[in-house]
Structure 1
C-alpha cells in the first residue's frame, strides 16, 4: 500500500512538472509579450526593455523557468496586473469561495444522485428506473446558463423569493447561494445518478447477489451489506471528477450570479490578459485535478479489496 501511494504521488509530481513546463512555454517564453501584458500596449520599447532587464527576463530561458518554478512552489505567483496586489492575496480567498459553493453543490448532488441511482438500479427496467433515467438525461442536457436564466426568471422576477445576484456585498449570506447551488445541482446530479444506476444494475445481476437473495436473506440487508460497496466504485470516480469540473466549470454560474469565486477570477484574468493570475489559476486547477485523481486511486483500494492486493 505504501509503495502504491508513493508511486501515485510520484506520478502526480511528474504531471505537475510537465504542466508547469507547458504553461511556462505558452505564457513566459515570449518576453516581449510578457512585458506588453504587464506594462500595457502603449508603453515604449525602451520602457519594456528596462522592465525586462530589471525583472530578470534577459536571463537564459532555463534559469527563468527554474526561478519561476521555485517561486510557484513557495507560493509567490507575482503581482496581478488587474488588481495591483500580489496574486496570492486574490487567489486564495476566491478559491475558498468556490470551495464553499462547489462543496455544497457536490454534497447535495451526490446525495440525490446516489440515492436515485441505487433506487433505479435495484429494479432495472422498472418504472422507477425509467423515471430516474429520463430525469437525469433531461437535466444534464440543459446547460448551466439556460437553467440560470430560467431559475432567475422564475424565482427572482416572477416570484421574487430569492436574490438575483450572489455578490456577498454585505458579508456571507447563505440565501445568496441558493440559486447558484440549484443550477449546479440540477446539472450535476444526473451524471452521478446514471453512473450509480448502471453500476448498481450490474452488481444486482452478479451470482453472489442472486445467491444471497435465494438463500432468503432480507432484501434490504443484501443491498446494504453486499451490493452497495461494489456498486459505489464507479460513482466514486464520477464524484471525484466533478471536483475538477466544479473548480473551473463554474465560470458560467459564477459570472451569471456575480459570485466572487475562482471561476469568475479566471474569467476576469482572461479578459484583462493578467498573465501572472492566469498562470496561477492554471497551475492550481491542474494541481486539484491530479490530486483528486490520486485520491480517487487510493480510495479504490478501500472500496475494492481486490485492487488493494493486486
Structure 2
C-alpha cells in the first residue's frame, strides 16, 4: 500500500481537565476514503486541528506522508482542507477566491476545477460576502477537489449543501479516490460515510472505539418500526432481522406492533405487505443512539 497518507501515534489533546482526544492510533492509506465517524463533541474536529498543526497535541504525534504534522509548511504541501465552517474573504469574488486558493496550494487541475464549478452550480461572479453558507461550502469543496494534493481532509463538508449538491459531493469523493488521492472524511452522518468510504474509524468521547469496513458498519444500522393492523397481524416473530418485538392493543381494538429491524428489510416488508396495515411509522435512530446501544459505556 506504500507510505500512509496520515498516521497518528498516541495522539492526545487535553483542555484542562477535559480530554478531547485520548491516545489516538490511526492510519489512513494512500488512495482510500477513510470515514472519521462519531457524534458531535466526540473529538473529530480537535483531531483534525492537530493534524493541520492548528493545535499542539498534549502528547503523541501525527504524520502526513511521513512528514511530522508539527512541520506545518511541509505537511500542508501534501494536503487540502475543507473546514466545518467555511470563512472566505468577503470582498473577493468566487473566481478570485478560487484563483488565490489555487496559488497557495500544491497545484490545481484548472480544467477539472471549471467542471466542478458547473457541477456545483456555483456563481463565481459574486463577492464571497454575499454567499450563503452552502455557496461558501461549495467554493471550499471545489478548491479542495481541484487540487493535486494527495490528501484531502474534509470536516463535516456537506453541512450546508442541499441533496443534489450532496450527490455531486459524493461523486467528487469517488473521483478523488480514483485519481489515487486519500480522503479523510469527518462526519456524524452515517449515510454519507456509508455511501463513499472504504473504512471507518469510530470515535466516541475522544477515544477510538473501532476501525471497521463499511460491511461491518452496516451491521450497526437499525430501524425502529411501529405498525397498526386492522385485521390479522403477520407472524413477525419468525422473520429474520426483527428484534425486540412488542405488541399492544389500541383503544379502538386494533393491534399495534413495535420492533427493531436490522440488516436487509426484504423479509419484514413481505410480511407487512401480506397483512392489513392501517398505520406504519419508521424511524432511524440517531448515530449517537446507535453507538450507545451497540457499545454501551465501553469505549475501550
Is TM (by shorter chain) over 0.5? no
Higher-Rg member (1/2): 1
Relative to the length of structure 1, the TM-score reads: 0.17
Q: Which has the higher helix share?
A: 1
Q: Which has the higher strand share?
A: 2
Greater relative contact order (Cα < 8 A, sep 6+):
1
